[in-house]
Amino acid sequence: MTVPVITDSHCHLDFPDFDQERPQVIARALEAGVQRMVTICTRLRNEPQVRAIAEANAPVFYAAGTHPMSAAEEPLATLDELVALAKHPKFIGIGETGLDYHYTAESAEIQKQSLRIHIEAAQATGLPLIIHARDADDDIARILTEGYRTQPYTCVMHCFSSSAELARAALDLGFYLSMSGIAAFPKSQDLRDIFADAPIDRILVETDSPYLAPPPRRGKRNEPAYVAHTARKGAEVFGLSYEEFAARTEANFDRLFTKAAAWTGEIPAKEAKA
């Protein structure tokens, strides 16, 4: 029996949690039907290592940005820097960026500045913005909307676990919502209701691994193979078979991450760096 193919749209394969068995983690993902993984660089100084993982593994793509929780610790990204990174054929998104007032509210102003630069990079490159939002719904909605009115861009609300109001604001802009393991937690019915009210053609799935493992792996280290567990819960939420839900979210991923959809499996010599 063929396993339906699916994509883990957000993971962190460069994190030390995977250092001892990264090839095995990728192999297990493929066995589970996870045909693609997007590994996210959260500090631009780590971009060479993240890029190397994508270059060495055909199923892996990558994105890069400054995580909001690191915005006060890292040099402020520049538009030129992000645009230059985006030239790599396996670089498919800008971020993750966004606002986090849960842990790092004291750096709110630099987070906002960083977010606006990343929005400009998404506008300049045509690549989707990848947003982290926590306890900052009003500011996130306002800044994303202001940027969109200046010049439209595409975006995914990664690991979405915010309010119905932020979900609606994002969907009204044509953005996507990504389901993580949180959506499969037993106590997350309110979040599942938010997803159920969203159009199926705006839904992605992810692990955010090594974090947020879904049941039955909750409490363990997460990895891309486990996105299938979240997708099965997503199929229930939308009243679809797993096969249909997988097919719909694959189509959504291809529509948003157009560079990954167009990937031919070759890295031009001038783009591949040591």
Binding residues for a divalent metal cation: 10, 12, 96, 132, 158, 208
Residues in binding site? 10, 12, 96, 132, 158, 208
Of the candidates 137, 124, 38, 33, the one whose C-alpha atom is nearest the C-alpha of residue 86 is 124
DSSP string, 161-190: -S-HHHHHHHHHTT-EEEE-GGGGSTT-HH
Helices and strands, counts by H and E, the chain:
10, 8
d(CA 145, CA 155): 11
Cα 91–208–52 angle (5° rounding)? Answer: 35
Give the tokens for residue 131.
């947003």
Largest CA distance in the chain: 52
